Each structure stands twice: as C-alpha cells, then as structure tokens.
Amino acid sequence: MKDKKSVAMIGAGSWGTALSLVLGDNGHTVRLWGKDEKNIAEINSLHQNSKYLPGITLPNEVVGTTSLEQSIQEADIIVLAIPTKAMREVIPQMLPYIKKQKTFVHVSKGIEPGTLMRISEIMEEEIPESMRKSIVVLSGPSHAEEVSLRHPTTVTVSSKKMDEAELVQDLFINHNFRVYTNPDLIGVEIGGALKNIIAVCAGIADGLGFGDNAKAALITRGLAEMARLGTRMGANPLTFAGLTGIGDLIVTCTSVHSRNWRAGNMLGKGHALEEVLDQMGMVVEGIRTTKAAHQLSEKYGVTMPITNALFKILFNGQDAKAAVESLMARGKTNEMEDLINILASQYIE
C-alpha cells in the first residue's frame, strides 16, 4: 500500500495532466494548477482536459485550481510541469505559500539560454536554501498521450540526494509507469534537453523527404554529440546509453507525438520559423535549447556539427538542404574517436 501524498502539479498542459493521472491512479491527492479558467473548470466538472488530452478521463483524486496558494499550501511534493522559460516567473510566485519543507520535482527538458543553466540549477537559485537538496528530476521516453492511455512507459528520476529520488520513484511507480533511479543528475538533465535538438533535426530530414538511413545517422551521431557535451559538463557517459539518452532520443525522433519533430518537419517542408511557432501553439523546447547548446559547445570546446547546423538554420537563415549538404561534406573522421575520447575524459581530468 502506497503512502498517500498530497501533490501540487504546477502546469495543466499535456504532460502535467498525464502525470496527474498517474498520481491519481496511485491514490495520491493532486491539485493541478493552471491559468486557463475554462480549462480548469472542465477538469473539475467533467474530469477531462480536452484542450491537451482529449478523450481522457482523469481520476477523482485530480482537482484543478487557478490558485497557486490552494495548490501548494497543503502539498508534500511540488511537481513543476512548466516550460524552462517559465521557471523564473512561476517559482517566485509560489514562495509565499511554501510554509514547510517540500520535495521539488521538475519534469521539463531544457537549458536556459544566456545563463546556460540546467533546470535544477535554475531552481537552486529560486527556492529556499533549505530545500535545494530536495530537487528531483523525472525524465525519459514518455509521450503524454501514451501515458494518459496507460500504455507501458519507463522513466528515470535523479537527485543529489538519492533518498529524495527514491521517494519520487515510490510516488509515481505503478504497473503502467515504471520508474528507475540514476544518481547522475547532470547526465539525466542534459540528455533530456539535448535530445530535443536532434528531434527537430529528424523532423527536418523527414520534411525534406529523406529516409530511414538519414534518421538513423541523426540519432546515432546526435547521441555522440549529447555524450560529448554531457561528459565535458560532468555527466557519466553511461547515462546516455539509458532511458534519458538513447531511449528518449528514439521516441522523440520517430514519433508524430513529438512537438519537436513536428516543428522540424514543418521547417523541412519550407515553412518559416515564425510560422512554425505560431501554428504549433505550444512551447518547442528544442528550438530554445539549440541556442543554449550552441553556446555550451563553444564554452566547453566540444564539436557538435548537427547542433550547430540546426543553429544556422534557425537563427542564421541557412537553407535546410544546404545545411545537410554541408554536414555530409565534412572532413573524414574515425567513428570510434568519439567513444575513445569520451571514455578517456573520465580518467584524464
């Protein structure tokens, strides 16, 4: 029998709603916070969020609210299911209602442009010092649409304090939603953020009409870029062979559920970036993360040709097909150099 908790779910989009369903299935009380009054009213009257997850009925344990105070004040655990760019706006609004020790969980995937901070680092700056070691990340190959249908899904949780990660593991795990732990907080966050970049590229390749060969190349060489940068930032390279690395990369690069893939697909078909963002109507983290990853590659002196090609397409106006031709015309290299250099870096520094 699970120890029943009170959970504040901050963000009533598709992911926050799907995770609320998981928690409700486990018998936890969930206060699902969102700004859209019509949306929240529907959650409370019909137990549905048709804007983001049409046709899905939420458990009775899930209650919507537009009040941060109502969501947070009695919560044992606060889950942040909001975009990276909203973290510094929303967290300060929450602080007046945090009267006791809380565990914070973030379920977003991104890097903050400018500061180049991971989400847990942003949170450390914004929340009380006494709670900074109680930050947990939940990440992995997990489309909200499939989670809400209770299809088998596996994710990973990580924290600087593994007892906090295990608490969150127990909170979410059930027979549809399997949760692993991993002590590599940096690797879990970097993998989740960088895979969105490769997913945009995969969408572009599909939009250009390329086949499976190109997508396989993007996934494998994209994984090499993720591991190169992540390792330089202090991650364990083995993390990128797990759920938050290759696992998340596969699901995001191959599924129409992925908003990053869909955005890339439109770009590949010739749509302008502004038009893509307008039609998507949702945050495309991969686009924002591309700028941050480009800056990180320069900061750490890491070669990231796929990421830098996407940067040129998005922000320098380079034609997508020309960017692909440039990638294919790069000088000869040894594929195993990546693996050797990544492993060597674990012992040299």
CATH class of the domain at 6-181: alpha beta
Question: Is residue 17's pLDDT more than 60?
Answer: yes
Is 62:20 a contact under the CB 8 Å cutoff?
yes
Predicted pLDDT of residue 58: 98
Question: Is residue 333's pLDDT more than 90?
Answer: no
Q: What percent of the chain has pLDDT over 70?
A: 96
What's the pTM?
A: 0.93
Residues within the annotated binding site for NAD(+)? 11-16, 144, 259
Predicted pLDDT of residue 343: 61
Query: Cα 35 vs. chain centroid, distance in angstroms?
Result: 21
Average pLDDT over residues 66-87: 96
The tens digit of pLDDT for each residue in 162-178 reads 999 999 999 999 999 99
Predicted pLDDT of residue 322: 93
With cut-offs at 50, 70 and 90, classify the pLDDT of residue 345.
Answer: low
Pick the CATH number of 186-348 from 1.10.1060.10, 3.40.50.1820, 1.10.1040.10, 3.20.10.10: 1.10.1040.10
Which amino acids are annotated catalytic? 195
Residues within the annotated binding site for NADPH? 14-15, 35, 52, 109, 144, 259, 283, 285
Residues within the annotated binding site for sn-glycerol 3-phosphate? 109, 140, 142, 195, 248, 258-260
Average pLDDT over residues 21-30: 98
Domain boundaries, the chain: 6-181, 186-348
With cut-offs at 50, 70 and 90, classify the pLDDT of residue 84.
Answer: very high
The tens digit of pLDDT for each residue in 178-214 reads 999 999 999 999 999 999 999 999 999 999 999 999 9
Question: Is residue 89's pLDDT more than 90?
Answer: yes
Question: Is residue 77's pLDDT more than 80?
Answer: yes
Average pLDDT over residues 117-142: 95
Predicted pLDDT of residue 153: 99
Instruction: Kindly report the average pLDDT of the chain as a whole number.
Output: 94
Predicted pLDDT of residue 341: 66
With cut-offs at 50, 70 and 90, classify the pLDDT of residue 99.
Answer: confident
Please name the amino acid found at residue 219.
I
Query: Can you give the three-state secondary structure of the chain, one letter per residue?
Result: CCCCCEEEEECCCHHHHHHHHHHHHCCCEEEEECCCHHHHHHHHHHCCECCCECCCCCCCCEEEECCHHHHHCCCCEEEECCCHHHHHHHHHHHHHHCCCCCEEEECCCCECCCCCCEHHHHHHHHCCHHHHHHEEEEECCCCHHHHHCCCCEEEEEEECCHHHHHHHHHHHCCCCEEEEECCCHHHHHHHHHHHHHHHHHHHHHHHCCCCHHHHHHHHHHHHHHHHHHHHHCCCCHHHHHCHHHHHHHHHHHHCCCCHHHHHHHHHHCCCCHHHHHHHHCCCCHHHHHHHHHHHHHHHHCCCCHHHHHHHHHHHCCCCHHHHHHHHHCCCCCCCHHHHHHHHHHHHHC
Predicted pLDDT of residue 156: 99
